[in-house]
Amino acid sequence: LSFAEVIGAFYVTGLLMGLLGFTGWVRRAMQAVPMPVVMGMVAGVFLRFGLDLVYSMRDDFWLAAPMALAFIALTAVPRLARVLPPVVGALIVGAAVIAVMGTFDARGEPIFALVQPNLYAVVFSWRAMIELVVPLAITVLVVQNGQGIAVLGAAGHQPPVNAITLACGAGSMITGLVGSVSTCLTGPVNAIISASGARERQYTAGMFVALLALGFGLLSPVFTRLLLSTPKAFIATVAGLAMLRVLQTAFTVSFRDRFVLGALVTFLVTVADVTIFSIGAPFWGLVFGFAVSWLLERDDFRSLRAEP
């Protein structure tokens, strides 16, 4: 497929998501899947962050270990953690270690540059519609948005599923102008936003992240080069530390009491990462996990319906 045809699929996917959000179908579908099964998918997706943290200790111990120690020290003193979040402290320590060890490799490229967006023409083709629209829509609505909504729900929030879906559809059509992939509610970002602080004030973190995203977007050539110039263990360690609490919550919700077998099947299929019909494993994890719960955990469904 040409890039113009792919962008055409982005547009149609955005329109489809907007219609599904407007009709309320997405919210009803998500409510039908038990939360432990959904969180089993989240645990399977986020597991790689925890594993990469362990691998970074193995591959670059003198960088990863000081970062982990800084994270643990700040977490152990809640009063200090309110002033300097543990993940930010680990990032600062990691940057200092990189500077001391001289492992920053800029590859001789200029560091400062502003982004220069390109506008792309769109081509609509039946082949692109058939091959891409359904996998894209499932990936955004079930895998990406499913993660974000589940993470927010586990943190005690009540995300407006239909409004989010409608906004993602509209956003996908706008960002398609510059050749960007479909807009989605990502799990990792929302996990970090809702991981600490008073729950009723976490919306301020979301607003601040949005402002930072605009700044980082304008300077994306700068930050892309900076990240590519740092050791891989630096990014893996920061991401792994940021996801620890989320992984803990995901496993706790998945394997606490009900729908345990379905959650386990969802987790295993997601971790296996086998793509079927161009649709990623997290979606199939939900499908097979829900099917197993529906067949073998009927008592859990009956008790769930009996709740007020």
Q: What is the pLDDT of residues 28-37, one digit of tens each?
A: 888 888 889 9
DSSP the chain: --HHHHHHHHHHHHHHHHHHHHHTHHHHHHHHS-HHHHHHHHHHHHHHHHHHHHHHHHH-HHHHHHHHHHHHHHHH-HHHHHHS-HHHHHHHHHHHHHHHHT----TT-----------------HHHIIIIIHHHHHIIIIIIHHHHHHHHHHTT----HHHHHHHHHHHHHHHGGGTPPPP---HHHHHHHTSSS-GGGHHHHHHHHHHHHHHHHHTHHHHHHHHHHS-HHHHHHHHHHHHHHHHHHHHHHHTSSSSHHHHHHHHHHHHHT--BTTB-HHHHHHHHHHHHHHHH-HHHHHHHHH--
What pTM was estimated for this model as a whole? 0.79
Per-residue pLDDT, 200 = 85
Contact indicator for 236, 57 with CB cutoff of 8 Å: no
pLDDT of 109 higher than 70: no
pLDDT of 55 higher than 80: yes
pLDDT of 178 higher than 70: yes
pLDDT of 108 higher than 70: no
Residue 262 to residue 295: CA distance in whole angstroms: 10
| pLDDT tens-digit series, residues 244-297 | 888 888 899 899 888 999 999 999 999 999 988 878 899 999 999 999 999 998
